[in-house]
Amino acid sequence: MKKAIFLLAALCCIGAGVAGQSSRTVVDTWYNRTEGQISGPFFIPLANANPFLAWSAVWESNAPGMWVRFASSAHQFQDNWEWIGPDDHATEMSGRTVGQLKFTVASSRFFQIRADMPVGDIAFHFFNPGPETTYTPGFAEEALLGCPCPLPPPQRRNDWCPAGNCPPNPSPSFTAVSHLIVHHSATTNTATNWPAVVRSFWDFHVNTNGWADIGYNWLIDPNGVLYEGRGDNVLGAHFCGTNGQTMGVCVIGDFTTATPTAAALNMLDQLLAWKACSISADPLSTMFHNNSGLTLHRISGHRDGCSTQCPGNAFYPMLPSVRQSVVDHIADVCNAVSTPEQEIITSEMLVFPNPAGEQINIKAPGISEGVLDLFEMPSGKAVRSGGAFRGPVFTFNISGLPAGVYRSRLRDASGEERNAVFIKQ
């Protein structure tokens, strides 16, 4: 009888919490019981979820979390409790905790709560992400002027949210990016519909956290598919409240003990190479980050800015190899050359070693004399002009150049022009 009265009371609290659309609802409840006691069951007034049911909770206390389990019937619960704790990316507020984003099967209609201490008022947020979307991969966008690395083809917002009910911030702020911040989502590593997972992130960030848009600039799923979040140079909500001058990329999954897939890492290399190249950032370097007041790697993890486990204990130690992979991608793939031993022709012009230190060697088959100019990328600003080239191999001192990405241009007396890109370490 007591359980029935408690269920009725919970249902009476739902009305004010329903978000006014069939895709989400909020169930307001509470937990003030002693350690280990079970509250509920509580009804979820959201039918026909597809392909899963996304959920989170917000509680008005500093309790560390609670256990929750789901069932399709109020009388069919099994011992499949799941822990929900604070979300690493949520804005910290005294006396209010935003829990992690979680997923349960689409048939879930009831839930129960168990905790080790009183939790107080709890608002459970539920979201139906909607059916599977269709997407045809496009082509990589053209590289920026002066930068040979293209943006790999992403799913744009109208691809991952074709219903149009995941709008962007109507008044975004922009930032000049200097640091690239890597995250994990700390959510499931397996799904049959990753665009639905991305839609769930949008709902969680906007309707649970209260942000203006999905927090990340870019997201990558385990299949190596890139998703546009806030987009390029838009101020995000992902880095310890010091988001200025950063680009946030979330590799979807929980990498506390597991590591990202090879496909996801490959896409991460491509994305970071594109952005590092476009802002003339040496992927191996560090730089002072004004907003946080910290000197950070140009490619950093979320935990480098504040106390968090993100991007996961298994993934974070991989960041040095990620930085090197980005350097290699720029050198090997983005129309440049890879090592002192390999000389790969770029526009019939060889630059080696690449990456370079104090000097570069240049070979241009068929040109014995000419003028060599160097340009900073992606600005196109000339940093060396009028250097006399005399072949067949010309050695050029670059010790005075800061670390970054550069384009070398060779012109002979007839006006023929050849170009190649190199990295200065």
Q: Which residue has the higher pLDDT, 141 or 372?
A: 372
Beta carbons within 8 Å of 265's beta carbon, 6+ residues apart? 322, 325
Long-range contacts (CB closer than 8 Å, 24 or more residues apart) made by 214-219? 214/166, 215/89, 215/248, 216/183, 216/248, 216/249, 216/250, 217/247, 217/248, 217/249, 218/154, 218/247, 218/248, 218/249, 218/250, 218/271, 219/185, 219/249, 219/250, 219/251, 219/252
CATH for 2-127 is: 2.60.120
- Whole-model pTM: value is 0.73
pLDDT at 6 over 70: no
- Rounded to whole angstroms, what are the CA distances from 198 to 139, 229, 244? 21, 9, 23
- Average confidence (pLDDT) over 168-196: 93
Extents of the domains making up the chain: 2-127, 154-332, 350-424
- Rounded to whole angstroms, what are the CA distances from 176 to 306, 346, 387, 401? 21, 30, 32, 22
DSSP state of 187: S
Q: Mean pLDDT over all residues of the chain? A: 84
pLDDT at 14 over 60: no
DSSP state of 205: I
Where b means 16+ CB within 10 Å and e means fewer, 228-264 reads bbbbebbbbbbbbebbbbbbbbbbbbbbeeeebbeeb
Give me the pLDDT at residue 417, please: 79
pLDDT at 275 over 70: yes
In whole angstroms, what is the distance from residue 232 CA to residue 217 CA? 7
- Average confidence (pLDDT) over 51-56: 95
CATH for 154-332 is: 3.40.80.10
Is CATH 2.30.110 the right assignment for the domain spanning 350-424? no
